[in-house]
Chain A
Amino acid sequence: MDCGVFTTNYREDMAILHHPGAKLKVLVVVAFFLALPFMVNAYYVSVVNLIGIAIIGAIGLNILVGFTGQISIGHGAFMGVGAYAAGIMTATLGWSFWIALPAGGLAAALIGGLFGIPSLRLKGLYLAIATLAAQVIIEFGIIHWPALTRGPAGMVLPAPTIGGLVLNNDTTFYYLILAITIGAVVFALNLFRTRTGRAFMAVRDRDLAASVMGINLFKYKVTAFAVSSFYAGIAGALWGHYLGVISPEYFTIKVSILYLAMIIIGGLGSVMGAIYGACFMTLLPILLRETADFFGGGFAGLTHIMLAMQEAVFGLLIILFLIFEPEGLAKMWHKVKEYFKLWPFSY
């Protein structure tokens, strides 16, 4: 498929898509997603929307965990910061969504960067506990500051408008999410072939060596927390405005762990891995529910048990992936591609 590619200058060698076929493939994929809402019903569009939002959040978390080697159990809360900051701007202050969305991301980046400061001194488990504190503190803050966040009752958020068009249904929101997701993917891919992204990976692989190569560890660790939280904030703000309502229970530690599961199953330190993981973890509960419904017709109790099994299946999958394919779905897909590269003459 893509063997026999020779580059003759550095620009070609640095390209993300080496092969003309790869460019065509990307075009086909983008065209498919542009046409998707016309081919399937609104329910499936809403599923794809949720996947898109999950992709943005998972790439963000992977930038921090997979690429920079830090850890965060507070990403659910950082999504909450983005959602609430943007929500307060649109619902309470009446600002435009187009200002509130990036501002929500920036608010999350600020808070995330702040909670990233301990990462200079803390590593591994200790850092995990410090970010767990971030999760708890932010959740507490959202619940106990009703003047700003309306407390446990939650907020109703207005639908964004563009020109005269109100983005209040799955299909219109679909294109917004698609555009932002593509932007998030491209930005991350570029980031990791340039100076800042390389510095992140250097910090992950050998932080002492990174410091003697002139990399300011503190600056890059905090930057990684901020970029990662920016992605989370954008995902949170999009999610909130898509659902039209937010409340503290949307941004609990369960969300943080769900996103960690996405990047572990998808593949740590891989942008494509974050995408695969996000698809997998969003589709899995839907698949389990459909299966339960299918078999549950005859046995009323079975639906209940199958739904309760969801969490167990999640946990089991994470364990199995850690044992059998620690590099996740991205690696599995890579192996399949490698196998078929020279197929059927792969000896």
Chain B
Amino acid sequence: MYAPVSPQLVIDSLTLHFGGVTALTGVHLEVNAGEITAVIGPNGAGKTSLLNCISGLYRPNAGRLFFEEQEITNTVPHRRAELGIGRTFQNIELFKHLTVLENLMLGRHIHMKTGLLSGGLFWGPARREEELHRRRVEEIIDFLEIESIRHKAVGTLAYGLQKRVELGRALALEPRLLLLDEPMAGMNLEEKEDMARFILDVAEEWGTTLILIEHDMGVVMDISDRVAVLDFGRKIAEGTPEEVQQNPLVIRAYLGKQ
């Protein structure tokens, strides 16, 4: 377990351009281990860009990133997964021809060792490893209550279930930092409540640090420990949900000038 002597994730004056468009300008954010941090902001504020920088899909033009005191600014995405950063996507990015089980087993990829040859021969160690990690994956399936669909191809599942499977795949990686990009988008109230419950359980039972992007302010204010507000690529506010709600800059960004 990571001992929280300093923030688990440090985002230091991150700047990101796409050609002439600036997506992020000098964003600074520190995330403590075990906390739930929500990133909010109007559409196009740069929230997903920030998550993409943390998981390595975008390389920032300036600024630095530290995860558990190790610089990861130029680390490739698959290395960051090995370091313990997992994520889900806004538009579900599951392996849609594979079953729920296979998707979750792919989440175990970095914890498994079976190579090409032993996998193809499927003897001794390869078979034992499959069974061992299958057990772990089944625990996650139980946790998310998706037992009945484990052998279904995810492409055939309903939207809400796909979102849940994607969370399961990220959890199978056993990340110490989990990035959730709009985990409740497009869900009805009941599905949102379920998802909020899962997120809180993950933070409490597994001690996972969470960064989530969410538009539902009710959910954000209820479940997060800290809230960061982005507007036009700049961080305009940060603090506890109560502090952020009172912040005049946030009110202006969301409601316009009073």
Contact = CB atoms under 8 A, between A and B. Distances in A.
B105 interface: yes
Contacts of A162: none
Interface stretch (B27-35, B41-49, B86-94, B220-228): B86-94
Contacts of B102: 198, 201
B83 to A, nearest CB: 9
B120 A188 contact: yes
B204 interface: no
B152 interface: no
Interface in B36-80: 55-57, 76-78, 80
B149 interface: no
Interface residues of A, number: 33
Given A199-B106, A205-B95, A191 B78 contact: no
A193 B89 contact: no
A11 B130 CA distance: 9
Interface string B104-125: 0111011011111011111000
Contact of B121 (A10, A190, A195, A216): A190
A205 B135 contact: no
Interface in A202-217: 202, 204-206, 208-217
A206 B155 CA distance: 12
B93 A217 contact: no
A195 B112 contact: yes
A197 interface: yes
Contacts of A227: 116
B78 A217 contact: yes
Contacts of A202: 95, 98, 106, 109
A62 interface: no
Contact of A213 (B109, B126, B131, B134): B109
Contact of A212 (B56, B95, B121, B129): B56
A190 B134 contact: no
Contacts of A199: 106, 109
Contacts, number: 117
A121 to B, nearest CB: 14
B97 A11 contact: no
B193 to A, nearest CB: 27
B94 A191 contact: no
Contacts of A211: 56-57, 76-78, 81
B173 interface: yes
B127 interface: yes
Contact of A11 (B76, B105, B106, B131): B131
A206 B82 CA distance: 19
28 contacts: A187-B120, A188-B120, A190-B119, A194-B118, A195-B109, A196-B116, A196-B120, A198-B105, A198-B106, A199-B106, A201-B95, A201-B98, A204-B97, A205-B97, A206-B93, A208-B93, A209-B93, A209-B95, A210-B95, A211-B77, A212-B81, A213-B78, A213-B109, A213-B169, A213-B173, A214-B78, A214-B173, A215-B106
Given A198-B109, A201-B98, A212-B87, 18 more contacts: A10-B135, A191-B120, A194-B130, A195-B105, A198-B98, A199-B109, A201-B97, A201-B102, A202-B98, A206-B93, A209-B93, A209-B95, A212-B86, A213-B86, A213-B106, A214-B82, A215-B78, A216-B78
Closest 3 CB pairs of A and B: A214-B81, A194-B119, A214-B110
Interface of B: 55-57, 76-78, 80-82, 86-87, 89, 93-98, 102, 105-107, 109-110, 112-116, 118-122, 126-127, 129-131, 134-135, 138, 169, 173
